[in-house]
Amino acid sequence: MWLFVFASLLPCLLAYEVDFKKLDGLAKAKVEWSGASADPLLPPQVKAFVTQDIPLYHNLVMKHIPGADPELVLLSHYYEELDRIPLSDMTRSEINELLGSLGFYKKATPEEEVPEEFRFSPAKDSPFKEPPESQPPPTPSAETETPPKEADQEKPHSDL
């Protein structure tokens, strides 16, 4: 019987496994937490990650939510929630490894500039496609312009 109980608890003891198929379109993240520094149940390593490591990550922000356990919320470019990962049972190094495996860029200091190639990380590029610089933006041609409607044309005033 104890073997059965242990086997049922085993998945809870293993680290969070990321489903990369579910994360298509990952662009940014936020850590939601109450920020209660006196929380006796929260490991000091998670507190250290929240206070010291979050400012180093590009496209990762902290959001204070009263009463919330710390969670990493993975978002698309359009702020659609892709996944939630509880952080309470993870060590600081495990959280940093997770963010690295997801493609988040970590700066050496909070003030450091993000290199251009990592500007959209963890996303591969921007969903907001810009026209190529070598081609001018399209201009409407005379054939595609619609003639003004009669209601739009000025009518002579007959009240004077």
Domain chopping of the chain, boundaries: 21-114
Q: How far apart are CA 25 and CA 78, in angstroms?
A: 9
**pLDDT tens-digit profile of 46-71?**
989 999 999 999 999 999 888 888 99
Q: How far apart are CA 28 and CA 112, in angstroms?
A: 18
**pLDDT tens-digit profile of 4-45?**
333 444 344 445 677 777 888 899 999 998 876 556 667 788
**Of the CATH numbers 3.20.20.80, 3.40.30.50, 3.40.50.300, 3.40.50.10490, which one belongs to the domain with range 21-114?**
3.40.30.50
